[in-house]
Amino acid sequence: MKHTSVTSFHKAAFVAATFLSLASCVAQERYNDTQLSAKHYQSKTIEAERRVSDLEDENRRLRAQLDASEKSLAEAGFSAEAVDARLQNLRKILAEIGGNPGDVTKFAVDGGYVYRMKDSIVFGLGSAELSEDGKKVLSEICEDIKSRPFGKVYVRGHTDSTPIAKPETKAKFPLGNLQLSAERAVSVGSFLGSTGKLEEKSVVVMGFGSSDPVVANDTAENKQKNRRVDIFVSDAEGTGNTTKQ
């Protein structure tokens, strides 16, 4: 009888020891999970703090750019009202010559802004000679450019992918669309530097032919979009111009 009691005692002790061991393992696992979780959230917190710091640095940089831009405009005697008036006048001129807002668009890009003009608003068909209507539009664009500080002005001529076919046009541009686009850029750049009175050293001209389309040359409408002259006006040094139309 005593032997049975001792055996039962040993079994009970073994069960208790096993239970305590398992409980200890469970507790250790929970502790480890807690530690991992704490490290995870600590890492997330550090990452979030770093992002906040980066955003604060970017905010300070943008504010400095804005302050510099506003200071430059103020020192030059320019105002937001004057700039808006120039844009309104450009729209008025387009309306008077039978154009529409889509014929000349202005939009901000990294490092400056662009005037995009359909070729038909500036040139006759297959010609690199400025039309009278085109001169009116370019005169107003010049005034708008000069209404605030600016850097280099890049005039870029573009065509669609249709080869020049008319004999009279081929006689004028024997090298094809690349030559046509380059001579159109020269005409616009020359006007900006002479009649527009921008410093010639600030004007750069480039002809791209059909090599840089804005859309695929797969429809008549898309080809019309690709026949264009872009005037990219770079920001003056130390400013962050974000003008949009």
What pLDDT was estimated at residue 203? 96
Q: In terms of pLDDT, which residue wins out, 169 or 74?
A: 169
| For the chain, percent of residues with pLDDT exceeding 70 | 56
For residue 37, pLDDT beyond 50: yes
What pLDDT was estimated at residue 241? 44
What pLDDT was estimated at residue 206? 96
For residue 84, pLDDT beyond 90: no
Q: What distance in Å separates the CA atoms of residue 189 and residue 194, rounded to the nearest whole number?
A: 9
For residue 57, pLDDT beyond 60: yes
pLDDT in tens, 214-243: 999 999 999 999 999 999 999 997 555 444
Q: Calculate the average pLDDT of the chain.
A: 76
Residue 220: both structure tokens together: 């008549």
Mean pLDDT of 188-211: 93
- Taking the CB of residue 230, how many other CB atoms lie within 10 A of it? 20
- Identity of residue 201: K
The values of phi and psi at residue 145, to 5°, are -60, -45
Mean pLDDT of 114-143: 93
For residue 197, pLDDT beyond 50: yes
Q: Which residues on neighbouring strands pair with residue 114, listed in sequence order?
A: 107, 232
What pLDDT was estimated at residue 118? 93
Predicted model pTM: 0.61
Q: Quickly state the pLDDT bin for 200 (edges 50, 70, 90).
A: confident
Q: Find out whether 160 and 210 touch, Cβ atoms under 8 Å.
A: yes
